[in-house]
Each structure stands twice: as structure tokens, then as C-alpha cells.
Structure 1
Amino acid sequence: MHALAVRRPPGSVVVYASRWQGWEEFDGRQPYPVVRHAGSVMLPVPEVARRAAGLLRSEGCDTVVFGAAAPLGLLAPGLRAAGARRVVMLTHGHEAAWAGTPVARDLLGRIGAGADVVTYLGEYTRRRLARVLPPGRLVRLAPGVDTEVFRPGAGGAKVRAALGLGDRPVVVCVSRLVPRKGQDVLVRCWPRVLREVPEAVLLLVGGGPSRAALERAVAAGGLGGSVVVTGSVPWSSLPACYDAGDVFAMPCRTRLGGLDVEGLGIVYLEASATGLPVVAGDSGGAPDAVVPGETGLVVDGRDPAQVAGALVALLADRARARRMGERGRAWIEREWRWDLVAERFGTLLDGSGVRDEGSAGGGPLHC
């Protein structure tokens, strides 16, 4: 949402958002006003509804954008009554999960009824949302990638030097450490990878609730010399972390009967922009972020043998891996740049030429 907001014309945006650590410094750097809710969670309660309607009137906004349709999209009728001419709602992975459960599905239907446009990330999320929402309101709008930030040569050599990786083959995973992302499967399959590529290193970048369990599994398997868990790193360091790898892997899997599912997987796109071949799990919309056989491989994230086979295939065939990385970079430059996404977003705001292109994709108040 930030990437879209900063690309709007000056004076055309006001943001209403919750508070997070560092919000005051962050807000001071933005080219638009940011109004903060008192807490870290915003829900469609009367207090939030009144404040949003007041901002709509005082700022002279005629368009409302919900950065996440559920649950704040329930505020749409009140904002229309306050003068909103157009309502655009963006969806992510959790709305697709809502479409599969009875109570949440009913709420999602109410939310979508208040929108002029509801966006989806890819074919998986479109299919899920189309069960509940009128297809004519669904338009693809996926996230973009900053190709100047995520690029080959973004600092990987320094990361390798700092971690003592040298020129060893590196599989990197950049993601929050939670079960859905599949870092546990990477650790489980790593002995199989080492049998074929003995010098390989698995680099797990990120923090999260699974970190302690992953570190215990690494120790129990005697993998300390070939698996590195960095913990959380600053966002500014992520491009270099990608660039430290030869292959990117996140074998995500769907959990909890479809409630815990990957909506798209921006990390695959960032890895492709950095010139890496990717190994993606088949959860939800993750395959939408890969051109199978061209930019990477899609695997069953529950199958350690299949994950290991994909990793070995790319680590052992450097020429093939390099070609996939080059194709991935070209694909990102052609389809996923932020300027292209921002242009599509602009058509959603003013309603000009809005149509669902499938694989293509006034002053707004951003909630």
C-alpha cells in the first residue's frame, strides 16, 4: 500500500492507519498526511467509522481504498453515506480463506457488496473470491517489485563473507519463520541434498515463532555446519540476503483446512528480480508467482523428497539455474514493476477502462 500511495499525485492522498513501532518517524518522511488510530489493530467499530467519515469530509476525498478488504470493508456503506463516490478494496490471502468458511463467507459477501472494485492477486484467489463476490467486480491487482532494489549484485558477496559461506552453493529462504512457509521441510530434506551436493548451505533469513524449533532440528540432525538461521534482519538488508543465494526456496503448504494458505508469495518475485531460480510450494496462489520450468519449479511442500529433488536439480546444474534466474529477472521487468502496478491502480481509482485482464492486471482515502 505504501508503494502505491507514494506513486499517487501530490496532494491526492490521506492515509488512515493503525499505529506500529516507529510510526512517528515513518510518517514524517511521507509525502502525504497520515492519521493514526490509537492502537495497533483497526476494526470496523463505531469509533473507527466516525473518524473515517470525518476524514472523508474534512479532506474532501471522493474515493476510498481499503488496503485489506476484510474486515474494514464493512465500513463502506457508512463512507458512501458520508460522500464517497468510489470504493476500491484490495484483497490478500486471508480473504480467499474467508471465502471457504460459512460465517466468514457471509461477512465477505457483505463486504464485497459495498465495493465498486475488489482486487485479487492471481488465479487461485480469483477462483476463491468468485464463489462469494460478483465476478464483474473482480479485477487483478498483484503487488509489484522494485527492480532497482531487488537486483543481481545487491550485496550478496558481503553477506557471504560475513557468514563465512565463501563460494559454497547456497539455497536461501527469506520469510517469516512459521509452519506454512515450509522452513521445517527444508531442514528435514537437507541431509538428502547434502548427499548429492556436500558443500551446500541452507540460509534461513527471518524471524518468527518457529525459530527455536528449527534451531533444535538443525542441532538434532547435526546440520550446524550447513544450515544458517539468521533471525530477523532489517528490510534494507533483504536484497543482499537474496543475492547471497544461488537458489531461492520456500516450499509453502496449505494448513488448517485451507485457512492458512499462501495468497501469492512476493518473496518468489523478489528472488526472481534478484536473478535466482525459485522453488515454490504449491499452496494457494504461490504458483502464480512462478513460470514453472522457466523461472523455477513448483513442488508439493509436504514432500521432503520432492523438495530435495528440485533443490539438487538446480544446484547440480548451474547453467540451468542461471537461465531460470535470467528469465525470472526478465519476467519481473516485463510484468511486475511497481510503475506498471501503479498505473493499473490508477485506473481502478478513476474507473477508466477498468476490466479484468486475467494475468495482466479523485483523491483516495486509504484505510
Structure 2
Amino acid sequence: MTHPASGRPSSVLFVTNDFPPRPGGIQSFVHGLALRTPDAVVYAPAWPGCAEFDRRQPYRVVRHPTRLMLPTPAVARTAARLVAEHGARTVVFGAAAPLGLLAPRLRGAGARRTVMLTHGHEASWASAPGFRSVLRRIGAHADVVTYLGDYTRERLTAAIPEAKLVRLAPGVDVEQFHPGAAPPGFRAALGLAGRPVVVCVSRLVPRKGQDQLIRAWPQVLRAVPDAVLLLVGGGPYRRTLERLAAGRESIRFTGTVPAASLPGYYAVADVFAMPCRTRLKGVDVEGLGIVFLEASATGLPVVAGASGGAPDAVRPGDTGLVVDGEDPGVVAQAVVELLSDPDKARKLGRGGRDWIVREWAWDQVAARFHALL
């Protein structure tokens, strides 16, 4: 496709609130798509460290001056200018809600196709009458609305015509996330040498279930006395979690770590656990959980909470276990089962690695995405 005025290839414009260097699964998903899209242009909020991040990208990134973009006239003007300036015939909204409300304005500027990604929060919107009507307005101006898995698709059909819904889940870089990804001596440097390790990699917020892991931990230690719980990530719930874990040497907090270091933190562990749970009467729900996929790619058995679409990221009995994240006793039992049976843990880890390489590798996801464009 070419720019009608210049004859050069037209661009694909990504309009998204979720983008690095802000950490998170949606952010890495959208970045991965942009990275694999020729002539991509990204319009995203400013975030600490964004100038350095943007310089390393092979595509143009235009930053909104604040950390949040809403469908305001100012944001609409900038996005419309980028459509016209780059001849963008396709616009991809990194999350349909709320920025998908800009679609009519961008069509007026020259866009011919709109692809809207959805995640857990759109599934929540579809369940609430007031938000559902807004989501209907957004979907009315989309050519394609993607969904992560069966859970999100089922809920989105309350607001989005089924004919527009197409599955598109995140990809995993299987060259980056793989067994043995930890640098030599990394486990010893973290003080974990010779100890069974359970890792949870995620933002520290109540939905993710780190508090339930901490509550489950005394029961785990009774069965596996030298085990260590490694909580990787930062977030607003950290102080609460630290108070809950006070005085326990076997629970470690790393804080936020660089994205490039994440594979090593997975690879030092024996089990991955994130017992996520649905909160606020279904408003706060897990859309999928890319961390389960990354853990599986690294060869770890996973313990996942049965929140929203999280079970779509696990094959129970083949790659891990799905548990009730509301019950610390059940969480503890699953973790103990995997720590106490290394053969089973290794079998699930191998099954997870094979599954990710076969169905979740980025080249396959990119091919599906380009077909939507």
C-alpha cells in the first residue's frame, strides 16, 4: 500500500496507552507487534526513560506529553495529523477502550482500516451496562476487534458483533525465554544456590495474588523447609505485601527489574506461581497472563489462579495447574506438589516449552496480525 500523495509505502499507526518503557504484559504485546510491522509509527504517552527507549527502536515513536492519553480533542488532533503525515491507511489501537472512540476522526483523516486489541478490561466493560454502551460505540467503528481467548471472547459478544471478533493473543520470544536463560552464577548472586525457588513475576497489585502466596508460604515451608519465594516486580501493593511478609527470610522482593533481565529471573526458579483472582465483582479480572506463557517458555511448571482468561494460558496437567486463587491452602498444596515431585515438575516444564514453541512463538503471532492488517 502506498501513500497517495508521495507514492511511498503507507504506515501503520499504533495509538496506545500501553507501551514501553512502562512495564507490563499489554505493553510488551503492543511493542512486539510494532517491532514486527514494517513502517510502523507509534503514538503513546510519555514515561520515564522513554527518550532512551525510543532511540533504540527501528520505527518512529511520538510521545504524548503526559502518562495517560484519553480520547480528547488534543489527542485526536495529534493522531489525525500522524495519519495524514504518514499516509496511515491502517490504525491499530493498542487497547480498544477508551481510545477506540477516536476511530471516526481518524477515518476522516484518511485511515481506511481500524484494528482494535482487547484485553481484560474490555471484557469487564462488556459486563457493565454503562461501559457496555461505550464499548458498543467503539466496536461499531472497528473493522476487527481481537480477543485473547475463550473467556474474553464470550464476554465481548455482549457488545461487539461476532463477525468482527478475531483471536490474537501475545507472542513469546522463545529465543529470549528459554531453559537455562539465567547468566552463570545468577542464582548464587541472588542467594538462592541449593534452595528450591518459587517465582512470581508480575506487577504488585491485589489481583495478581502475591498476598495469597505469602499467606500460603508457612504451609509450603512445613513441607519444603528450605524453599524461597521470589517476588519479581514493583507496584503500589508492595508495602502491604512487605508488611504481610515481615520477618520471613525466605520471601524476597526484587522490585522492578529491567525487561532484558526477566528471563534470568524465571530461569533461576523451579516453579512459577501467580494465583490471580477476580476482584470487585468482576471488574478487576485477568485477561490472559503473558507471564504464564513466558514461564512455560523457560521450562517452568506453572500454578495459575482461575481468574478470567488465565486458564487459557495453561494446559492443566500438561503445562501446570489451575487453582482457586482465593484459597491459600489450595495454592500451597499446588506449590508443594510441584516442589516435592521434581519429575512431575520437569515433565510439565517440558510440556510447557513445547506448547509455547508450537503455538505461541512470535513469528506465528506476527503472521496472524499481518493478516488482520
Taking structure 2 as the reference length, the TM-score comes to 0.90
Q: Distance in 2 between matches of 1:311 and 1:23?
A: 38
Task: Check if 1:245 corresponds to 2:269.
Answer: yes
**8 A contact 1:98–1:104 mirrored in 2:** yes
Q: Distance in 1 between matches of 2:241 and 2:156?
A: 34
Q: Distance in 2 between matches of 1:193 and 1:37?
A: 46
Deviation by residue 1:146-178 (Cα, 9 ceiling, x = unmatched): 111111111166332122221111111111111
In structure 2, the partner of 1:171 is 198
Deviation by residue 1:57-114 (Cα, 9 ceiling, x = unmatched): 1211111111111101001111112221111000111111111111111100000000
Q: Distance in 2 between matches of 1:70 and 1:41?
A: 13
In structure 2, the partner of 1:61 is 88
Deviates more, 1:263-272 or 1:208-217: 208-217
**8 A contact 1:27–1:34 mirrored in 2:** yes
**8 A contact 1:156–1:242 mirrored in 2:** no
Task: Check if 1:25 corresponds to 2:52.
Answer: yes
**8 A contact 1:173–1:248 mirrored in 2:** yes
Counterpart of 1:101 (choices 128, 136, 153) is 128
SS at match of 2:155: helix
Deviation by residue 1:288-319 (Cα, 9 ceiling, x = unmatched): 00001100000000001111111111111100
- The percent of aligned pairs where both chains have the same amino acid is 68
Q: Distance in 1 between matches of 2:50 and 2:223?
A: 48
SS at match of 1:152: coil
**1:173 alignment partner AA:** C
* Equivalence map 1:354-365=2 (5 Å): none
Extract unaligned runs of 5+ from structure 1: 350-367
Task: Check if 1:191 corresponds to 2:218.
Answer: yes
SS at match of 2:54: helix
Counterpart of 1:2 (choices 12, 31, 37) is 31
Counterpart of 2:41 (choices 14, 18, 26) is 14
In structure 2, the partner of 1:348 is 372
Q: Distance in 2 between matches of 1:205 and 1:3?
A: 22
In structure 2, the partner of 1:317 is 341
In structure 2, the partner of 1:326 is 350
Q: CA deviation at 1:117?
A: 0.2
In structure 1, the partner of 2:70 is 43
Q: Distance in 1 between matches of 2:312 and 2:111?
A: 33
In structure 1, the partner of 2:289 is 265
Task: Check if 1:208 corresponds to 2:232.
Answer: no
SS at match of 1:248: strand
* Equivalence map 1:83-122=2 (5 Å): 83-122=110-149
* Equivalence map 1:150-169=2 (5 Å): 150-155=177-182, 158-169=185-196
Counterpart of 2:299 (choices 256, 259, 275) is 275
Q: CA deviation at 1:228?
A: 1.2
CA RMSD of aligned residues (A): 1.1
In structure 1, the partner of 2:328 is 304
Q: Distance in 1 between matches of 2:292 and 2:94?
A: 22
SS at match of 1:272: helix
**1:163 alignment partner AA:** L
Q: Distance in 2 between matches of 1:237 and 1:132?
A: 39
SS at match of 2:172: coil
* Equivalence map 1:121-140=2 (5 Å): 121-140=148-167
Q: CA deviation at 1:38?
A: 2.0
Deviation by residue 1:303-351 (Cα, 9 ceiling, x = unmatched): 01111111111111100000000000000000111111110000000xx
Report the count of equivalent residues.
Answer: 344
Deviation by residue 1:257-307 (Cα, 9 ceiling, x = unmatched): 111110000000000000000000000000000001100000000001111
**2:166 alignment partner AA:** V
